[in-house]
Amino acid sequence: MPSKYKLSPSSSERFLSCTASLPYNIEFTENEATLKGNLQHSVAFLRLDQIYVGKDHTKEIERLTDYSHEYVSTRTPSLKVKWDKDCERTVDNYIGYIKRMVQQFQPSMISFESRIKMTFFDNVINGVVDCVMVLPNNDIIIIDLKTGRVKVETEDNRQMLMYAYGIAQDIYKKTEAIPQNIIVSICQSLVNNTKAVKYSVSQLAKWYSDNAQAMFEINTNKLVFRPSQTACHYCQHRADCNERIRAGVV
């Protein structure tokens, strides 16, 4: 039986650790940092679509990357940001990294801003993956662009592993081919954090089974507090959580 909660790969680091955090999820609130991240993702997509698909986005790219242009939030029209040197560095390094990966691995398929829908312990979970490469042997490379200054770890990153599981599931549905290896990578230029980690399909299967207890709690609504640095960091219940205080998580 699926959960009554909306599950997102981006918050999986929290809910797969501390299942009791789920009822405290609130609607996403946009701010200048997230809006600027959205701007950088938009420009990165347009530039990559131009390079690898051949579509001409020159005018739109020039408009968005004009230092005087205000990029306005569609959710909160009063919220505006502008392209700057950090944006330029982040996107340039990301595109350069993808070019190097393409040259090294020669993928048979590459896609950007790919929407995925996976079945995860009876739950349908949606996500968007910044870059997916499928190699001639059906192995997978997943790259995620991070635009913030808080370092995001690549190893054992639940969001990336959930993406890997979803992409592998999708490829199997379409081709009945099972990738033997999945490479997941974070590209986060502002803190010099670009790293790739390879997982075998058996390691990915073990990671999935290791989450059985957490997903049982979520699906049956028998939620358990498990405070930790990673689970509590962005939790909306953090300030009022007695379990966090008792556990000494700061």
Reply yes or no on whether the pLDDT at 37 is more than 90: yes
CATH no. of 14-247: 3.90.320
Reply yes or no on whether the pLDDT at 42 is more than 70: yes
CB 134 within 8 A of CB 140: yes
pLDDT-derived band at 176, boundaries 50, 70, 90: confident
pLDDT-derived band at 175, boundaries 50, 70, 90: confident
pLDDT of residue 171: 87
Mean pLDDT of 164-172: 92
Mean pLDDT of 44-63: 98
Across all residues in the chain, what is the average pLDDT? 95
Reply yes or no on whether the pLDDT at 136 is more than 90: yes
pLDDT of residue 27: 67
Reply yes or no on whether the pLDDT at 225 is more than 90: yes
**75-95 tens-digit pLDDT:** 899 999 999 999 999 999 999
pLDDT of residue 65: 98
Percent of the chain at pLDDT > 90 equals 88
Domain positions in the chain: 14-247
pLDDT of residue 29: 78
Q: Which residue has the higher pLDDT, 203 or 25?
A: 203
pLDDT-derived band at 230, boundaries 50, 70, 90: confident
Percent of the chain at pLDDT > 70 equals 99
Q: Which residue has the higher pLDDT, 250 or 185?
A: 185
Mean pLDDT of 15-42: 91
